[in-house]
Amino acid sequence: LTMGKYTSNTLQIYNTLSGKKEVFNPLNEGAIGMYVCGPTVYSNVHLGNVRTFMSFDMIFRYFKHLGYKVRYVRNITDAGHLENDADQGEDRIAKKARLEQIEPMEVVQRYTVDFHNILSIFNFLPPSIEPTATGHIVEQIEIIKSIIDKGYAYEANGSIYFDVIKYNESHDYGILSGRNIEDMAHNTRALDGQSDKKNPQDFALWKKAEPKHIMRWPSPWSDGFPGWHLECTAMSTKYLGESFDIHGGGMDLKFPHHECEIAQAKAWHNHSPVNYWMHANMLTLNGQKMAKSTGNNILPSEILNGDTDKLTKGFSPSVVRFFMMQAHYRSILDFSNDALLASEKGFLKLMEAVTSLSKIEATEVVNDFDVIKWKSNCYAAMNDDFNTPILIAELFSAVKYINQIKDNKASINNSSLAVLTETMQQFVFDILGLKTAVSNDQNHKLGETIELLIKMRNEARAQKDFALSDKIRDELIGIGIQLKDGKDGTTFLLD
């Protein structure tokens, strides 16, 4: 039996529930259960959504790197998420179906495919289980029955509401978000249909469907559909148990969504469902949260092909990923053309160093750089609540060293070269999830071919045949290969 790296790495995770960093101890040694709220598949994901999922992809990757056995559940919300996040308005998917005159399940299919496509472009690892809300209606009905039996939910006109005031008499509604129940009442607007509720803080577990509502399922109370918050309680419990290690999502889901998940679980089985609540911060554009509803967003396709007035050019998926990893997952990150250009520079510099590293030869001399200490700094950064910006700063001290060796201004011995190479590979590719043009054998041939074209372009330039050298460069751009001239020669970037 080999021991995982986790035995020698103490992880600190910021827990929203306690408001501080805590030492991470999973319920079962060597294994982690993690649930992340997935997308509501009623439209194309925007780059803000991508950021949240990418934060958890990086976390998932690091856990796996440490040798944990991770069961990572990320759901697909394909019913029940209403327009205003509370209990009002039209179902987002049903509305889209009505506007487009297609079936709700056609909407679901179209945007689930888009979601998966985008994630694979950005080099995400697939989760272990990807359950859908509509596939778990039976489980949700059973939970509602149980919550009614325990006295924490009531029926009104065929809908079932969670009784927040009753629950709060013996529990702690607001424990996650820090909101207090009186303020919540004042902040809840009295909208149409809320008259069914005993109190404005109450939220729906089951909604009776209007006659025209096509997304409906039979239940003991009415033909209707489940509440959005209940879906995640049903799916997380089914696959991870009544108590599990980590629940994640974007910061904006803390309230009401996650607060309600805690209340449902405690009302149902009386213990806290999640040990570590993790919230990823928002991607902003012009200082405002990227959101579908306001139009203040950028789509992955727009950033890849540069087809938007917000950008001067397109950027490769790995540059976007590098840009996101340069910020800590709990910090707000503002999107801009300048920031992307700066990230592209940094990314290329990192990739050039990785390439140089593969060509370096060791010498039997004293090292000019403490590789072992550097490696432990890389782990320390990640162990400190997944601090990727600090990790990247560490990677760049290695880049500096690599460039010095390349310029014969420093040297490295055999064993240090092995550690440096392995550690760079692991952090750059396995953990940050970046991709280089020449990362495997097949791409190697492509890389060699491009190198050949670069050489021919240089020959054309030397003979002052600029028509030919420009043609080579432009045609390569046309097929998604960008050449970059630097002081050490020309490098390339694949879309």
- Does 252 interact with ligand AMP (rule: CB under 6 A)? yes
284-323 residues in contact with ligand AMP (CB under 6 A) are 289-291
Reading the block at residue 330, the tokens are 């709990």
**For residues 35 and 386, which CB has a smaller minimum distance to Zn ion in the complex?**
35
240 binds, among Zn ion, ligand AMP, none (CB under 5 to 8 A by kind): none
Binding string to Zn ion for residues 227 to 246, with x set by CB under 5 A, is what? -----x--------------
CA 139 – CA 42 distance, rounded (Å): 23
Residue 271 Cβ, how far from ligand AMP at the closest point, in Å? 25
Among the listed residues 342, 351, 349, 323, the one whose alpha carbon sits nearest the alpha carbon of residue 436: 351
In the list 15, 16, 49, 423, the residue contacting ligand AMP (rule: CB under 6 A) is: 49
E runs forming strands in 332-455 = 333-335
226 binds, among ligand AMP, Zn ion, none (CB under 5 to 8 A by kind): none
- Does 253 interact with ligand AMP (rule: CB under 6 A)? yes
Half-sphere CA count of 303, side-chain side, radius 13 A: 27
Q: Helix, strand or coil for residue 73?
A: strand
CA 32 – CA 24 distance, rounded (Å): 10
232 binds, among ligand AMP, Zn ion, none (CB under 5 to 8 A by kind): Zn ion
- Does 22 interact with ligand AMP (rule: CB under 6 A)? no
Of the candidate spans 30-38, 64-72, 212-220, 384-392, the one that interacts with Zn ion by CB under 5 A turns out to be: 30-38
E runs forming strands in 37-141 = 69-74
What DSSP character marks residue 365?
S
Q: Which residue's structure tokens are 């729906």? A: 204
- Does 454 interact with ligand AMP (rule: CB under 6 A)? no
Of the candidate spans 150-158, 247-255, 319-327, 424-432, the one that interacts with ligand AMP by CB under 6 A turns out to be: 247-255
Binding string to Zn ion for residues 180 to 219, with x set by CB under 5 A, is what? ----------------------------------------
**For residues 291 and 390, which CB has a smaller minimum distance to ligand AMP in the complex?**
291
- Does 454 interact with Zn ion (rule: CB under 5 A)? no
Residue 37 Cβ, how far from Zn ion at the closest point, in Å? 3
CA 406 – CA 247 distance, rounded (Å): 45
- Does 278 interact with ligand AMP (rule: CB under 6 A)? no
Residue 342 Cβ, how far from ligand AMP at the closest point, in Å? 20
**For residues 282 and 428, which CB has a smaller minimum distance to ligand AMP in the complex?**
282
Cis peptide upstream of residue 273 (ω within 30 degrees of 0): no
411-440 residues in contact with Zn ion (CB under 5 A) are none
350 binds, among Zn ion, ligand AMP, none (CB under 5 to 8 A by kind): none
- Does 282 interact with ligand AMP (rule: CB under 6 A)? yes
Residue 257 and residue 249 in contact, taking contact as beta carbons nearer than 8 Å: yes
DSSP string, 211-260: TT--S-B--SS-SEEE-HHHHHHHHHHHHH-SSEEEEEEEGGGIIIIIHH
- Does 41 interact with Zn ion (rule: CB under 5 A)? no
- Does 258 interact with ligand AMP (rule: CB under 6 A)? no
- Alpha carbon of 429 to those of 13, 178, 219, 433: distances in Å? 23, 38, 48, 5
Q: Using CB positions, name the residue nearest to ligand AMP.
A: 250
- Pairing status of strand 283-285 against strand 333-335: parallel
405-434 residues in contact with ligand AMP (CB under 6 A) are none
CA 181 – CA 178 distance, rounded (Å): 10
In the list 11, 32, 36, 37, the residue contacting Zn ion (rule: CB under 5 A) is: 37
Tell me the helices (H) and strands (E) count for the chain, helix number first.
16, 15
Q: Helix, strand or coil for residue 279?
A: strand
CA 107 – CA 113 distance, rounded (Å): 10
Site residues for Zn ion per CB under 5 A: 37, 232
Site residues for ligand AMP per CB under 6 A: 37, 39-40, 48-49, 51-52, 249-250, 252-253, 282-283, 289-291
